[in-house]
Amino acid sequence: MTQQAAAPKIRVRNLSVGYDGNLVQERVSFDVKAGSIFAIMGVSGTGKSTILRAMIGLLRPSAGDICFDDVNYWSLSDAKREEGGRRFGMLFQGAALWSSMSAAENVGLPLQMFTKLPAASIDALVQVKLSLVGLDSGRDSMPSTLSGGMRQRVGLARALSLDPEILFLDEPSAGLDPISSKRFDDLICELRDGFGVTVVMVSHELPSLFGICDDGVFLDAKTKTAIGHGAPQSLRDHCEDPTVHAFMTRGIPAGEAAKPAEAAATTGATDGGP
């Protein structure tokens, strides 16, 4: 894929999202460049996943625009938006595999639904996608018999089934051990390099963020908006906001400094703090 220098793949402007009139994030703006691995960061409960749900078409934003290749996604008709959604692959937290289907069927269903390919071709494609994620053997296993890491891999293979342009990942390494987590990160990098997909991931796993993400946005719960833009590494090294700094260095924000009694008892846990 050729690098389109100027136009961002995804442009989010003044996005406000929330449930039942309670906004969790307001006036969030950011750009995602084509081919980047973009992180949506923030402490738990900031509304990272909610932003992601708005981007993939599951939750209508309260205000603001989300544009993919300069097309305003939420101003499209439902049918057009659904069609546009087929350019996305989404890996849910915990994979959300369809539990009544085997791993191969999970990966094959989107192909069955949206292509006119004969069964043999679908089968071959499914086999390839499963091997890409390192699961050549488990194709006929049911999701309930797979381990967390394997489920996550099948989920990724399913997200890749329609050869998406953009891959959305919701906390991909949550619940994985460090080794599986690292392998998964490498896999995402390889897929990005190989297929040229743009990756948007919600995560708060520092090793993943520093390891693979080259751009990102940091959401804050208190101000309900984005308080930092840039790669996790540069946010760590250059961002002066205490919350961002604390997040990136696994510390406690200055405003919420430990109480004296606590600090006395817990020295060592706050090293690297502000």
Partner 1 sequence: MSAPPSGPGWSTRIHDDDLVLVLNQDWTQTDFQASDLDTTQALLTERKWNTIRFDSSGMRLWGSSLLVFLSALRRVAKRQQIRFDESALPAPARALLGLIPDVVPAMTTPTAKVGRIERIGVSVLDAWAETLSTMTLIGEIVLRTGAALRGRTRMRASDLMTAMTNAGVAALPVVALVNILVGGIIAFVGALELRRFGADIYIANLVGFAEVREMAPIMTAIVMSGRTGSAYAAEIATMQGTEELDALRVIGISVDEYLVLPRVTALSFMMPLLNLYAAAIGILGGFLVAILMLHISAQTFMEQVRSAVGLTEIAYAILKSIAFGAWIGIVSCRIGLRAGRSSSDVGHAATTASVAGIVGVIVLDALFAICANSLNI
Q: Which is nearer to partner 1, 131 or 266 (CB)?
A: 266
Of 210, 161, 162, give the one whose Cα is nearest residue 189.
Answer: 210
Q: Scanning residues 101 to 160, which ones bind partner 1 (CB under 8 A)? A: 109-110, 112-114, 158
Q: Which of 97, 122, 217, 226 binds partner 1 (CB under 8 A)?
A: 97
**Shorter beta-carbon distance to partner 1: residue 71 or 98:** 98
Rounded distance, CA 202 to CA 153, Å?
A: 17
CB of 241 to partner 1, least distance (A): 27
Size of the site for partner 1 (CB under 8 A): 31
For residues 125 and 189, which CB has a smaller minimum distance to partner 1 in the complex?
Answer: 125
Contacting partner 1 within 25-84 (CB under 8 A): 53, 56-58, 82-83
Asked if 94 is part of the footprint of partner 1 (rule: CB under 8 A), the reply reads yes
Parallel, antiparallel, or unpaired for β 10-19 and 88-91?
A: unpaired
By beta-carbon proximity to partner 1, the closer residue of 123 and 241 is: 123
Angle of helix 148-159 relative to helix 103-114, nearest 10 degrees?
Answer: 10
Per DSSP, the residues of 28-80 read EEEEE-TT-EEEEE-STTSSHHHHHHHHTTSS--SEEEEEETTEEGGGS-HHH
Residue 266 token pair:
């817990």
Work out which of 14, 71, 98, 254 binds partner 1, going by CB under 8 A.
98
What residues numbered 157-216 form the site for partner 1, per CB under 8 A?
158, 162
Stretch that binds partner 1, among 63-71, 89-97, 182-190, 217-225 (CB under 8 A): 89-97
* Cross-strand bridge partners of residue 216: 39
Token output for 256:
């919420």
